[in-house]
Every structure is written in structure tokens, then in C-alpha cells.
Structure 1
Amino acid sequence: MSTAGKVIKCKAAVLWEEKKPFSIEEVEVAPPKAHEVRIKMVATGICRSDDHVVSGSFHWPLPVILGHEAAGIVESVGEGVTSVKPGDKVIPLFNPQCGKCKVCKHPEGNVCLKSSLQQPQGTLIDGTSRFTCRGKPINHFIHTSTFCQYTVVDEMAVVKIDAASPLEKVCLIGCGFTTGYGSAVKVAKVTQGSTCAVFGLGGVGLSVIMGCKAAGASRIIGVDINKNKFAKAKEVGATECINPQDYNKPIEEVLKELSDGGVDFSFEVIGRLDTMLSALLCCQNSYGVSVIVGVPPDSQNIPMNPMLLLTGRIWKGGIFGGFKSKDSVPKLVADFMAKKFSLDPLITNVLPFEKINEGFELLRSGKSIRTILTF
């Protein structure tokens, strides 16, 4: 019996309050309106950005269904949808691409003006929610809300991918892998033979290392206080790893000594203000490029001396690895299918969706790189 046009009752992980566990609830998911798509989730990754909402460092309207790194199958579409059809394998896009705004038309811009990343909005584009639980509307999260067996997204926030792709792996292209890999190859534009430093060796940091290696960097230094992450970092391309706690001087000084005055490229993939400054300081002061990849805490600023930039350093950031999502995600999936990179080293745990709280504990304890939840 077709579910098209009908309300679907299903399970979702609802966050009712900050700093509390997710609650597995029965929710009602309304059918898609015009230019919307309803997706049956197959797999979703647990990303640190979701945990930032739980911890309160990234404020979002509550209650909410989080999740943004996923893959699924189109269940039904609303009127006017032309880019996908029921049965298509798709990846929802937390960083949408409307294709019409000033940013989408710019060759380098990729944070669409319709994105809710800059202005947290717990609804779809029309200002309303498709989720109801206990008779109350539940907020959407950055166009995706993938911690639910079914979700509804705007057409600009979903893209069709290769029908043969394994969704439990390519879901990582929806955020973590692409964010890290693109930060190296597209945002920083790492050069052949260069020296790179990567602060933070979680899933995104490892993806940065993979991008640096693909771009031809000759030296990739991993930086983390958890030595248990070093073996995996070397497996994906780090040439050496260091722990700041092993030194009695600032880590930027250590890195300068290791790299004859400063690295060519550095990446902060943690989301801490002190490490963002350290990453900038460890760059060669005349031509070094430092990229902020980690999501910083809300409403905090870094005091810094403009002289650090006046000499020629470049300090920049990038959402989703600088990639335009609709244009790039299908190509990255195709590259994965062509074995140009592997996602297996990033996946340490696979759990049923109902064990979401266990998955977040694995993330917080540093025991997992990426946990995939399957539906």
C-alpha cells in the first residue's frame, strides 16, 4: 500500500532539552508539500556538530530532530519536484544549493543564501514543520533531520546519487568526509610537496589528512592529545603525529621547529578557540594558509594581533569543504565507487538507530571515529 500523500507514523530520536539524552518517540511525518521530498532513511552518521546542539554550544530551537549526515531512498515527492523521484537513492544536504541566489551563482561561494546555517530556523523554507510528536510540532535541523525513519526536505537540500552505492558508507559524504577532504583540496588548495598540520584526528580530521595526501603533500603532521588516534591517522596518510601534552612549550612553537619556521598549511578540526589560534601561529608567516574546519562555540571571539596576517598569512574557513553540494556530492560518490578513496577507515561502529545514545557516548569518550546508525 502506497504511503504517498499520507502521514507516516515512525520512530525518531527527539531532543527535548539540552544536555539530556535523546528520546526515541513515535512521530508523525506529514507528506511533502510542493518542491519538497520525503525520504526513507537508511543510514546516518553521528557527527560532532549534532553533539554541539546537545551540549548547548550550538543553540537551536527545541524540541528538535537532529542528524545531518545521511543517505536514504526517496519515498514520495511534492508537486513540482523534478530532480529526484520515488525510489532514487539520495543524500540530504545540510548545506543546500538553490542554484539561483548570488552565492550559488558565484564560482567560489557555497553557503546558499537560503541556508539555515547562518540563521537557525527549525522549519522548512515555507516556515512550517513536517514533524509532530505528542501533538506538538517538532523543529527541523539544518534542512535535514536525519535521526528519524522518514524525513522531509526541500528539493534544494537533496541530491540523487549512484543507484549502486552502499548507503551505509556514502552517508559520510553528506558531511564528515566531504568537509574534511574538501578543506584540503578545495578550501586550502594544498600543493604538491607541501607540509601540513592537522589539529584534531576525529573523522573530519582524518578526512583532511586524506585530502592532503590526495593533493600531494609530502609531510602531514597530525596533532591530538589522544594518542590512540595516531595509528589510524598514519593509516590514512599522516607521516607523523604529536601530542601537545608531551612538550613544555606551545604546540605552535613545536610545529615551527619541526617545519623549518612554519608549515605551509594548517587545519583546525576541533572547534576550540585556543587551537584555532595555535593553528594560525604555526603557519609560515609569509605564505602559510590556515583553515578553520571545526565549528566554534557560539558567541565567542578570538583576540588576535592583525600583524599575524599583515605579513602574508591567510586565515580562512569553509563549510562543507567549500563544495557546492548539489554539484559535488554525486561526483564524490562516483569517485568513491571508482575506488579513488575509501570510507572504511572512518567507520568504527555500526549500531541500530535505537542505540543512538550509546553512539553519542562513543563519540564523547573518543572511542569512535564515526558511528553509523542503521534503520
Structure 2
Amino acid sequence: MKTKAAVLEAVTSQLPFEKSKPLNISEVEIAKPGYGEVMVKVMAAGLCQSDVSVMKGNLVRPLPMVIGHEAAGIVYEVGEGVTGLQPGDKVVTTFVPSCGKCLPCSEGRPSLCEPGVKSNNNGELITGGKRFSKEGKPVSTHVGVSAFSQYTTVAENSLVKVNTDIPFEYLALFGCSVVTGIGAVVNAAQLKLGNSVCILGLGGVGFSALIGAKAAGASRIVAIDINRKKLDMALELGEEIEVYTPEEALKQNIQVDLAIETAGVPDALKLGFSLVRRGGRVVTTGIPSPDRKIDVPIMSVTFEEKEIRGSYLGSCVPKRDIPRFLELYEKGLLRIDKLLSKTITLEEINKGFDDLLSGEYIRIVIKFE
């Protein structure tokens, strides 16, 4: 079977992407689902900064590759051994497949699944091998998903079944930006009712963290970004939200219980560390270049008991958290609709990433037919 997909043939940092065209829209072959696998008709897929990290080579992946990791769609066909899904089911993708057997999975931390991370690094499914090919040569799968394709074949444990009527362009956001941002707040930072929090970086994940902090009952929410337009957009979530540029935040002598850094910028992480009180916690979801490092005063870590921890996939259990977050959205408690800036076609994807990098948009989503 053939499918139209966005294939990354070689990495590049040359901007604009609309001219350098790192993503080639072409027809590729897609294999039928094998044992424990599902073919999904992709209905919507979100553009994310971590996709840019792959396109630029900061996150090294085996090429060529059909990229994209945030999507929602409809089950088209199931392979043998699939027990929890059937054709017609609505699903959200999750970009770390969980084996359910390794130590992290057994500890309730599926985002750290050891076989899942290994298969993702190899550009394969957790069930083994690659399901895309072009001119007889294998094409890698991106983190078990490959969302920028009309159809994709994935492992059953890369999918979460959902029962909802919300439009697919919003549903896709639950595959990455929502779980990563809200999960960072409630799972990694473990925000409690009445805690104060600052969010550093207002992309899709940062805005999700703002939304999550408000829903979780934070007493003070501070939003920090270098882009004044995004700070103005943050105020649309509520006038009680304080907004500052990094320079303004330093002058304000802010002290909060928790800081969530989502920009993947070392200076933002250092700023977050300086803004948390004694005993405070800093959580980072950012993905900078592998060579980027930070220096922090170790004495503050010890004497002030400050913590820095990472959070991948929002430290979520996707089959637990995605349905919960969906329910809260449907009840009007999570303003996920504020994340979607615009929709585009697959053919517009290279320009779409230029738009995302411009800082003028929160989330851009591809709508398929």
C-alpha cells in the first residue's frame, strides 16, 4: 500500500525551510500491520520543536525517516494479536511505546521504557523492524509513530484509544504538547493546591503547563518568555497570570515553589533555578543541542535543597493520563483550544515549521482528509 508522507532525507540548519525543503513530500510504501501492530489513518498531526531538533540533527536519528510524533487518527487495520483496538476506533499516538515488562515500566514510568527507547533510537517499531520503504529501501519510523503520513503502521502500545467527539486537530495535541506540559506540572513538579509556579518558555508545551497549573490550583502563576506577543497571549488565559521577559523577572525578585522550563535553553533553566525558593523544584522538558550545559551553584543544591529534574512525555502514564486530560478538557477545565494557532496541509509542512520557529504561533497542526 502507498501513502503520502513527509520524508527527512538529510538534516539541515539552513533556513527558511520553505526554501531548503528538508522534508520531501513523496509516496512511500507502507507494510500491513504485523503481530501486535495497527495501521492508523492519520487525521491530524502537530508540528513540534522536537521535530525541528531532528531536522537540524540535534537529535540524531537514522535517515531517511518519516517524521512526526504528535497525532490522532482512526484505526484502519489491525494485525494478529491486537486485543484492545479494532477498525474505526479513535486513537491518540504516544511517542514512547511501553513494553510493560522492563524495570521503568514496572515502576510506573513508561516514558523511560528501555525497549521503547532502544527501538526509537533505531528508527524501528518496538515490535521490531521498519514498516516504511521507498524504492525498495527501508525508511525509518520516528519514535514509533511517524505522524506526518496519511497512514502509519505502529505497535498497539504506541496508541491510546479515546472515546470523544472533539475535532481531530485538537485531539492530536494530547499526544505531545498536552501530556508533556500538563504532565510536567502534575506528575514531575507535583504541584499542590496553593503552590506558586513559573513557566519559562511559551510554546505548545509551555502553554499547556500554564493551563495545567491553573487547573491544578496554583496560587501564583508567572509566565516568562522573550516574545512579548506570547506574553500577551498568556494573559488571555486569565488576568491573574503574571507575565515577564527574563530581564523583567530578574528585577522583580520573584520567588516561587516550582519552575517549569520548556524552552530547551540553558539560560532559561538557570533562570528557573534562581527563581525557586529554598526547597523548590525545577523541572525541564526542553531538548537543547547535546553539547549545551548549565552550571549551577552546588552549595545551593545542598544547603537550600533545590532540585532539578527532567521530565519526558510529562512523566505520564499515557493510558491513564490522556483520557483524564480529555475528560477535563470536555468539562471546560483545561483550555486546550487556546493551543491551536492554525491548521495547514501536508504539502505546507516546510513553511509550517518556519512559522513555528517565528515565535508567532503556539501550535500548528496538519489536517489530513
- Given that 1:195 and 1:263 are in contact with CA atoms closer than 8 Å, whether structure 2 keeps it comes out as yes
Opposite residue 251 of structure 2, the aligned amino acid is V
- Please say if residues 92 and 153 of structure 1, whose CA atoms lie closer than 8 Å, have aligned partners that are also in contact: no
What's 1:136 paired with? 137
1:330 aligns with 2:330: no
Equivalent-residue separation in structure 2 for 1:128 and 1:212 (angstroms) = 40
Aligned to 1:100: 101
Matched, 1:301 2:293: yes
Q: Secondary structure at the match of 1:291?
A: strand
**Does the 8 Å contact 1:34/1:78 carry over to 2?**
yes
Aligned residue type for 1:263 = V
Letter of the aligned partner of 2:123 in structure 1? G
Residues 272 and 297, structure 1, Cα contact 8 Å, conserved in 2: no
Q: Which residue, out of 240, 243, 249, partners 2:242?
A: 240
Deviation at residue 163 of structure 1 after TM alignment = 4.6
* Alpha-carbon contact 1:96-1:325 (below 8 Å) kept: no
Going by fraction, where is strand more abundant, 1 or 2? 2
Tell me the CA shift for residue 183 of structure 1: 0.9
Question: Structure 2-normalised TM-score?
Answer: 0.92
Per-residue CA deviations over 1:7-44 (Å, capped at 9, x if unaligned) read: x2120011111115211001111101101111000000
How much has 1:339 moved relative to structure 2?
2.6
Cα distance in 1, alignment partners of residues 7 and 107 from structure 2: 37
The aligned counterpart of 2:7 is 14
TM-score when normalising by structure 1:
0.91
Q: Which residue of 2 aligns with 1:5?
A: none
Paired with 1:108 and 1:33, the residues of 2 have a C-alpha distance of 26
Report the AA paired with residue 243 of structure 1: T
Structure 2 match to 1:342: 335
Alignment gaps of 5+ in structure 1:
1-7
Going from structure 1 to structure 2, the CA distance change for 1:219 and 1:331 (only over 3 Å counts) comes to closer
Counterpart CA distance in 1 for 2:317 and 2:126 is: 19
Q: Rate the CA distance shift 1:109–1:143 in 2: closer, same or farther, 3 A.
A: closer
- Pairing of 1:149-228 with structure 2 (within 5 A): 149-228=150-229
The answer on whether the counterparts of 1:88 and 1:163 sit within 8 Å (CA) in structure 2 is no
Partner letter of residue 239 of structure 1? I
- Match of 1:81, SS state, is coil
Q: Deviations over 1:94-121 (max 9, x none)?
A: 0223222221221456422222279611
> 1:241 is aligned with what amino acid?
V
Aligned position for 1:3: none
Whichever residue aligns with residue 300 of structure 2, its letter is L
In structure 2, runs of 5+ residues without a counterpart are 13-19
The whole-number CA distance in structure 1 between the counterparts of 2:266 and 2:62 is 24
Query: In structure 1, what is the equivalent of residue 274 of structure 2?
Result: 281
Counterparts in 2 of 1:244-283, with a 5 A limit?
Answer: 244-245=246-247, 253-255=250-252, 257=253, 259=254, 262-283=255-276
| 2:308 maps to which of 285, 306, 315 | 315
Conservation of the 8 A alpha-carbon contact between 1:162 and 1:334? no
Return the letter of the residue paired with 2:42. Answer: M
Aligned-partner Cα distance in 1 for 2:275–2:334: 29
Instruction: List structure 1 segments (4+ residues) > 4 angstroms apart after TM superposition.
Output: none
CA distance, structure 1, for counterparts of residue 84 and residue 63 of structure 2: 31
CA distance in 1, matches of 2:69, 2:59: 14
Q: Deviations over 1:277-314 (max 9, x none)?
A: 22112211x21111011113224433333212102111
How far has the Cα of 1:341 moved from its partner? Answer: 1.4
1:320: Cα distance to partner?
A: 1.5
Distance of aligned partners of 1:334 and 1:98 in 2 relative to their CA distance in 1, 3 Å threshold: farther
Query: Relative to structure 1, is the Cα distance of residues 143 and 118 closer, same or farther in structure 2, using a 3 angstrom cutoff?
Result: closer
Q: Distance in 1 between matches of 2:118 and 2:366?
A: 24
Distance apart, 1:333 and its partner CA: 2.2
Q: Secondary structure at 2:141's aligned position in 1?
A: coil
* 1:36-58: CA deviation from partner (whole Å, max 9, x where unpaired): 11100000000111011112211
In 2: Cα distance, 1:236 partner to 1:96 partner: 33
Hey, what does 2:282 align to over in structure 1? 290
* Letter paired with 2:170: K
Q: Which sits farther off after the overlay, 190-199 or 34-43?
A: 190-199
Check 1:188–1:174 CA distance in 2 against 1; reply closer, same or farther (3 A cut).
Answer: same
Indicate if the aligned counterparts of 1:25 and 1:133 stay in contact, CA closer than 8 A: no
In structure 2, distance between residues paired with 1:227 and 1:35: 47
